Structure 1
């Protein structure tokens, strides 16, 4: 697979729990770049960003305001839709942002899968008879049927309790955090909160990964957590 896909999986060793500096969110970098430009340029930028996320300009302004308060320090790299969703003032607002995010991530997954298919077709055409190297990011899950893919999410008590039960039973798990937005800090914080130990990482019992659209690619549905195993190169959910 191309490096683009191989990079979607990260294995956190024992030292991954060491404190690391937080990177500046991309939207903050962009705002700094526009801070010295004309009000019209800043307005155009805000309009473009709002459109990209399916938001109104007023909603984008609300997101920017939230990023100047406590939310910025709690979750500095949180995306606009999640930010607005967790700070929503009504169930109707929360539902709107949740549906926007589901649609956006589904489209992203479709584009990534389409490119993956194009890559596979190009490999077969250019190197017939030669199989590409398989790695743990292929086929939306772990490389061995002896391992189980587990999909979890933030603020999910059932995810944590079930994960601990499976680990205590000796299961070898590839854990995928749905909605992690590629944020490594968020991934590490979730692992710490879930009680995953450094020895479980270093011993290979657990890998921790960004979901990167796999959840949608499997056509899965909530509630989480959800376990999958590969049977005859097809992923099947375990009840």
Structure 2
């Protein structure tokens, strides 16, 4: 499905990002796993069991760091990545009345600004190289069906979804598709850190009765990045097990 493609996956050191790397490698893509935690990124690359896959450090909030990775991919492989998955994300939950501005902005910087920077610089590289490409942004169902204590996270993920639609309109004429995935509660380190009492309240609201698996999101990311989704752009696809319906 992705034979001959070159994928850049942010947040590739764990959770959904690592699963995306694994599925894309299985489907034939060369994979660059990028993560703020360099050791985790390299661990992901090692799991892919081929020297054509690499793990690199990346701070998505830094334009200089993003530019260095985009440039490094082009230098290493002789071409820019033509599949980009923005999976890097954080949360820092607190009730609105207690949240400080720095706490709010930290989450927006990673989740929304980071998606902007990686999308901008990676698609500019595609345009310069005159190649078609695909961007998949990991948003969240929480950006659509809000949850208490997550005003920063909800705002950032709603922003990612809106950003994706605008990017799709602007980049479509350049041969670049942009789509978003809205995962529900997926078995990742972020969800694992949620209090058990909260999960006990949430699971009954999931129609399928369980949290999702990272690979269940990754399979969709690989599809959206591939030519099998060649007529999809600007879409937001939910992977929630029925949460919120």
Same fold (TM over 0.5): no
Larger Rg over CA atoms:
1
Q: Which fold has the larger relative contact order, with Cα–Cα distance below 8 Å and residues 6 or more apart in sequence?
A: 1
Q: TM-score, normalised by structure 2?
A: 0.29
Q: TM-score, normalised by structure 1?
A: 0.30
